Amino acid sequence: MRAVDIIAKKRDNILLSDEELKGFLESYLSGETTDYQMSAFLMAVYLNGLSEHELKTLTQTMRDSGELIKLNGVERFLIDKHSTGGVGDKTSIALAPLLSVFGIGTAKMSGKGLGHTGGTLDKFEAIPGFKFPATEEDMVKTIEHTGIGIMGQTENVVPLDKKLYALRDVTATVSSYPLIASSIMSKKLAVRSDGIILDVKVGDGAFMKNLADAQKLANIMRGIGEMFGRKVHIVLSGMEQPLGDGIGNGLEVYEAIESLKGNGPKDFEKLITTITGIALVQKGDVSSIEEGVKLAEEKLHTGEAVKALRDFVEDCGGDPSYIENPEKFLTATYTLDVKAEQDGYIASLMAEKVGNSAMLLGAGRETKEDEIDHAVGIVLKKKVGDKVSKGDTLAIMHYNQKNQKLEDAIALLSGAYGYSDSLVKTPEVILDIQ
C-alpha cells in the first residue's frame, strides 16, 4: 500500500493492519517514505490516537529497528528504572547502588540533559575520569561485579524512535500520549530486564503538569509493558518544587551519596526507598511495598550502598575518592546566599524557574552543543512549608563566573519563591503508585 493510502486511513481513523503500519514505519526508516509524509501521519495520530493493537505494533517496530541489549550472562534480577525528568532528579545515582545491596541489578540506558532537567550521564561525568561502559560486554561485567548497569544511549538502539522523535519535535506532535508512551517503552523493551519501574514526574518542573494527565500516560505505558509480558509499576511523583535540595551535576552526586548514608533530604529518601520497595515486590522478596520500604530505610544507614557506588565508579575509571570524600564535588569558585524578601511561610517554589536559574549558571544546556560546568548549581535551604524571616537564606548559589547571566539567575531564583502569611502544608513526593 502506498504511503499516501496509510496516511489517509489514519486521517479517517480507520484501523491499520500490522503489515500496513509496520511496512510504513520500516519504509520511513529506510528513507523510502519522506519526512513530509511521516509528518502528516504523526499529525493524524496526534488527532485520532492509536488502537491498542496499533500501539503494540508501533512500539515493537521501534524496538526491533536496532540492536537489543540482551545482557547474556547476567544472573541478577534486573530492574530498569526510568524517570520522565525533573529538577534535582538524581534518583538513579542513589537508587542503583541501593538496589545492588539487595542483589538487584540495574539495567538502563541514560542520556545527557537538555534545558532545565539534568541527565544522569552529566551527573556521573562530574567524577574525574569517569566513563560509562562503552559496550554491552563491559556493562555485563559491571553489573556482575557491582550490580549497577548504566550505559549511554547508542545510535544502534531504537534508531526509528530517534528519527521519529526528531520529527515530532518540529511538527507539534511531541505531546501525543501514544507517541510519548511508545517512545519511552520501546527503549525500555530494547534492554533486557525482569521489571520496569517508571517514575512519572508531575508538576511545574515536569513535562506532565497535572495528576490526571500523568495517570493517563502511566496507564498507557503500563499497558504496553503488559502487552510484552513485562512487570511494570508506575510511581507518580511530585515536581511542583525541586526534588531534594541540590540542583547541579556535582551537587546532586554529593547529595545522592549523603542520602546513601541516611543524611539526605527526606523527600529524596522517600522516593528512592519507595522505588526500592517496589523493586523488592517485583523480585518476590517481600509481599508489600511497605515491607520493602522498611528494609530500604534500614539499608540507608549501613553504608553498604556507598561501597557499591564506589565500586561502580572505580570500574568505570572514575576517581573513587570522590565517593569516599564527597566534599570534593564542592569546587565552585564562589557562593552567594539568596535571601528571603519578607516574613512568612514558603507557599510555592517553582521548579522550572529553579532549574532555569541553575542552567544560567552553567549547570544545564540551552542547546545540545553547550558545554556544562559540573561544579555550579543551587542548594536549597528553604522549601514549601518552611517558615522564614526576612533576610533568611533561601538558597545558596554555587558559581564560577560573575556576569549578566549570574544576575539573571539570581532574579529567576528569587522569583521562584512565593510567600504566605499562614502555615502551608509540605507537599507529598509520592502522589500515586500504579
One of 82, 233, 270, 310 is an active-site residue; which one?
82
Question: Quick one: pLDDT at residue 213?
Answer: 93
365 given a catalytic annotation: no
Question: Quick one: pLDDT at residue 368?
Answer: 66
Q: What is the pTM of this model?
A: 0.94
Percent of the chain's residues with pLDDT above 70: 98
What confidence tier does 109 reach under pLDDT thresholds 50, 70, 90?
A: confident
Boundaries of every domain in the chain: 3-49, 77-324, 332-420
Question: Quick one: pLDDT at residue 205?
Answer: 85
**The CATH number of domain 77-324, selected from 3.40.1710.10, 3.30.70.980, 3.60.150.10, 3.40.1030.10:** 3.40.1030.10
145 given a catalytic annotation: no
Specify the fold of 332-420: Aldehyde Oxidoreductase; domain 3 (3.90.1170)
One of 92, 110, 183, 259 is an active-site residue; which one?
183
- What tens digit of pLDDT does each residue of 326-355 get? 999 999 999 999 999 999 999 999 999 999
The closest of 137, 71, 136, 130 to 105, measured between CA atoms, is 71
The C-alpha atoms of residue 156 and residue 67 are separated, in whole angstroms, by 6
The C-alpha atoms of residue 116 and residue 358 are separated, in whole angstroms, by 8
Q: Quick check: 91 pLDDT over 80?
A: yes
187 given a catalytic annotation: yes
Average pLDDT, the chain: 94
What confidence tier does 301 reach under pLDDT thresholds 50, 70, 90?
A: confident
Residues 6+ apart with CB under 8 A from 403: none
Question: CATH topology of 3-49 equal to that of 77-324?
Answer: no
Specify the fold of 3-49: 1.20.970
5 given a catalytic annotation: no
One of 161, 194, 245, 311 is an active-site residue; which one?
161
Question: Quick one: pLDDT at residue 114?
Answer: 54
One of 10, 116, 168, 365 is an active-site residue; which one?
168
373 given a catalytic annotation: no
Rg, C-alpha atoms of the chain: 22
- Half-sphere exposure for 74 (CA within 13 Å, toward CB): 31
Pairing of strands 430-433, 231-238: antiparallel
The C-alpha atoms of residue 381 and residue 378 are separated, in whole angstroms, by 10
Question: Do 68 and 136 form a contact (C-beta atoms < 8 A)?
Answer: no
Each as own residue / partner, the long-range contacts of residues 323-331 (CB below 8 Å, 24 or more positions apart, any chain) are 323/127, 323/257, 326/253, 326/254, 326/257, 326/258, 327/254, 329/126, 329/250, 329/251, 329/253, 329/254, 329/375, 330/250, 330/251, 330/254, 330/375, 330/398, 331/250, 331/375
CA angle 226, 229, 231 (to 5 degrees): 70
- What tens digit of pLDDT does each residue of 208-255 get? 999 999 999 999 999 999 999 999 999 999 999 999 999 999 999 999
